[in-house]
């Protein structure tokens, strides 16, 4: 491997690596990687792995799948780093890779048996009626998200949890801005209807 | 009712604060008078709040250490990503303070540098490429004026080819390309 091998980073706010993560713009790090300092790529992994994992987890609702997708997204990003043109931010580019992996995974999993949905829902047996209702509502909402078409689920996740604009979402999903906006609108409307049953009681 | 139809599809923009100020004022005035639209706004807000507060699964302690280590291990076996040579030279020249505002000059400098490399190394016996095709250009035109044609053949990406430029023969008449 040219340009230095990867070494485990030091940890803690006082280490030089931490300071570089905070202070260096992504473009500068990418340039260093392309100039041969390949170990600098780990700065990008440390910077974005939580974001990408959460995105994948919300898309797949499965922790193991999300872990695999996160790893694969970074490896694919590394392989094609020289094609990154800087027309969008690195995070948007990385989202695009990760979302495509999620959509492929969802497509494949729909052909298989449904998986158990991960979720930190409280055990309602020992709680009050209000907690029971909240738990039921959250389960219903999670199930309703599961049933959304993959493109709508991706749009919803990028918008609500990642805070992307409709234009950025269109770029990530490679569609028109109007399509991204319409997908989001339909997703919210669907979930709004699913929650109607809980409004009077909750 | 006509106002409801016009506003209903844009209430999500209003709830998310993305409606332009003037339209937003009109919508707010309408909502103050319309219980149906007011209920719609409340439900949209509620839906967004429920979505944002949906519980997340608990994560294993060393999840992110595992991800970092796996990525590190996997990409250690990958070929390091590198820009093509000519892009590295162009980026280097672009970063020179004097050349930055003059992109044409930078491009000319890249060309000059690459041609110089080719000319200096011409004593080497050229290795003819079996797939090489050189188109005929006017005798009086310098290479620099034919750059747009040469670029179509990705000549700049192939340093070996550039080294051969001064001795390339034009098919048909056996002439060399004019070098300016």
Identify all chain A residues contacting B43, using CB atoms and an 8 Å cutoff. Answer: 192, 195-196, 199
* A79 interfacial to chain B (CB closer than 8 Å): yes
Q: What is the pLDDT of residue A11?
A: 43
3-state secondary structure of A137: helix
Residue A182: which of A200, A169, A171 has the closest Cα?
A169
- What the block records as the tokens of B75 is 């990409």
Which residue did the predictor score with more confidence, A47 or B1? Answer: A47
* A139 interfacial to chain B (CB closer than 8 Å): no
Domain A123-202 = CATH 2.40.10.10 = no
CB contact under 8 A, B72 and A185: no
CB contact under 8 A, A34 and B50: no
Instruction: Quote the minimal CA–CA distance from B93 to chain A in Å.
Output: 15
Q: Which of A59, A185, A187, A201 to mutate: most B Cβ within 10 Å?
A: A185
Q: What is the pLDDT of residue A163?
A: 93
Instruction: Quote the minimal CA–CA distance from A125 to chain B in Å.
Output: 18
CA torsion angle for B95, B97, B101, B105 (degrees, to 10)? -70
B161 in Cβ contact with B132 (< 8 Å): yes
Name, in order, each residue with C-beta under 8 angstroms of B50's C-beta and a sequence gap of 6 or more. A137, A138, A141, A191, A195
CB contact under 8 A, A192 and B47: yes
Q: What is the pLDDT of residue A27?
A: 87
Q: What is the pLDDT of residue A159?
A: 96
Residues 161-190 (A) with a CB less than 8 A from some CB of B: 161, 184-185, 188
DSSP state of B114: H
Q: What is the pLDDT of residue B130?
A: 45
Q: What is the pLDDT of residue B121?
A: 61
Give the burial class of A61: count Cβ atoms within 10 A of its Cβ; 0-12 exposed, 13-18 middle, 19 or more buried.
buried
Each of the 202 residues of chain A gets a pLDDT tens digit; together they read 333 333 444 444 445 555 555 556 888 899 889 988 999 999 999 999 999 999 999 999 899 999 999 999 999 999 999 888 777 889 999 999 999 999 999 988 775 555 555 666 666 555 677 788 888 899 999 999 999 999 999 999 999 999 999 999 999 999 999 999 999 999 999 999 999 888 765 4
Mean pLDDT of the B57-79 span: 92
Name, in order, each residue with C-beta under 8 angstroms of A123's C-beta and a sequence gap of 6 or more. none
The beta-strand segments (E) located in chain B are none
CB contact under 8 A, A71 and B74: yes
3-state secondary structure of B176: strand
Statement: residue B162 has pLDDT above 90? no
Q: What is the pLDDT of residue B57?
A: 83
A34 in Cβ contact with A81 (< 8 Å): yes
Confidence band for B98, pLDDT divided at 50, 70 and 90: low
Instruction: Quote the minimal CA–CA distance from A38 to chain B in Å.
Output: 7
CB contact under 8 A, B82 and A185: no
* A78 interfacial to chain B (CB closer than 8 Å): yes
Which residue did the predictor score with more confidence, A9 or B161? Answer: B161
Mean pLDDT of the B56-64 span: 89
H or E segment to which residue A154 belongs = helix A150-156
Domain A1-114, CATH number (from 3.30.70.2860, 1.10.1740.10, 3.40.50.10490, 3.40.50.150) = 1.10.1740.10
Token pair 């998310």 in the structure block, residue: B16
Q: Is the ipTM of this complex over 0.85?
A: no
Which residue did the predictor score with more confidence, B171 or B32? Answer: B32
Please name the member of A3, A74, A195 whose beta carbon is closest to the beta carbon of B80: A3
Return the HEC string of A33-76.
Answer: HHCCCHHHHHHHHHHHHHHHHHHHHHHHCCHHHHHHHHHHHHHH
Residues 153-172 (B) with a CB less than 8 A from some CB of A: none
Q: What is the pLDDT of residue B132?
A: 42
Which residue did the predictor score with more confidence, A13 or B48? Answer: B48
* B47 interfacial to chain A (CB closer than 8 Å): yes
Identify all chain B residues contacting A78, using CB atoms and an 8 Å cutoff. Answer: 71, 75, 78, 81
Q: What is the pLDDT of residue B161?
A: 52
CB contact under 8 A, B46 and A195: yes
Q: What is the pLDDT of residue A158?
A: 96
Weakest-pLDDT range from A123-127, B45-49, B107-111, B158-162:
B158-162
Report the chain A residue with the minimal C-alpha distance to residue B77. A1
Q: Which of B67, B90, B91 to mutate: most A Cβ within 10 Å?
A: B67
Write out the DSSP string of B15-41. Answer: HTT-S-HHHHHHHHHHHHH-HHHHHHH
Report domain extents, chain A: 1-114, 123-202
Please name the member of A45, A120, A137 whose beta carbon is closest to the beta carbon of B50: A137
Please name the member of B60, B67, B84 whose beta carbon is closest to the beta carbon of A70: B67
Query: pTM of the full predicted structure?
Result: 0.67
* B15 interfacial to chain A (CB closer than 8 Å): no
Instruction: Quote the minimal CA–CA distance from A150 to chain B in Å.
Output: 17
């Amino acid at each position: 491997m040219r340009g230095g091998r990867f070494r485990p980073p030091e940890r803690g706010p006082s280490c030089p690596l931490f300071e570089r993560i905070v202070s260096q713009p992504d473009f500068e790090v990418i340039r260093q990687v392309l100039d041969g300092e390949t170990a600098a790529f780990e700065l990008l992994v440390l910077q974005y792995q939580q974001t990408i994992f959460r995105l994948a987890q919300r898309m797949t609702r499965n922790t193991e799948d999300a872990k695999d997708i996160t790893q694969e997204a970074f490896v694919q990003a590394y392989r094609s780093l020289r094609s990154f043109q800087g027309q969008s931010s690195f995070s948007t580019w990385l989202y695009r890779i990760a979302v495509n992996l999620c959509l492929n995974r969802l497509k494949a999993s729909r052909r298989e048996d449904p998986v158990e949905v991960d979720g930190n829902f409280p055990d309602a047996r020992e709680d009050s009626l209000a907690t029971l209702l909240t738990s039921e509502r959250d389960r219903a909402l999670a199930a309703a998200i599961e049933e959304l078409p993959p493109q709508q689920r991706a749009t919803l996740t990028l918008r609500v949890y990642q805070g992307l604009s409709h234009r950025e979402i269109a770029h990530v999903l490679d569609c028109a801005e109007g399509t991204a906006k319409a997908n989001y609108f339909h997703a919210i409307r669907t979930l709004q209807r699913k929650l109607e049953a809980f409004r009077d009681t909750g | 009712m006509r106002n409801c139809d016009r506003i209903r599809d844009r209430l999500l923009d209003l709830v998310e604060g993305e409606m332009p100020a003037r339209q937003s004022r009109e919508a707010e005035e309408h909502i103050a008078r319309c219980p149906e639209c007011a209920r719609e706004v409340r439900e949209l807000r509620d839906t967004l709040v429920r979505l944002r507060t949906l519980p997340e699964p608990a994560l294993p302690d060393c999840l992110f250490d595992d991800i970092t280590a796996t990525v590190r291990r996997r990409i250690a076996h990958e070929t390091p990503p590198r820009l093509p040579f000519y892009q590295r030279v162009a980026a280097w020249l672009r970063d020179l303070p004097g050349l930055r505002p003059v992109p044409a000059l930078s491009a000319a400098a890249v060309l000059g540098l690459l041609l110089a490399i080719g000319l200096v190394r011409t004593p080497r016996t050229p290795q003819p490429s079996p797939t090489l095709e050189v188109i005929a250009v006017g005798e009086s035109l310098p290479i620099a004026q034919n750059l747009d044609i040469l670029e179509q053949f990705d000549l700049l990406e192939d340093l070996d080819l550039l080294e051969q430029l001064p001795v390339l023969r034009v098919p048909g008449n056996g002439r060399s390309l004019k070098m300016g």
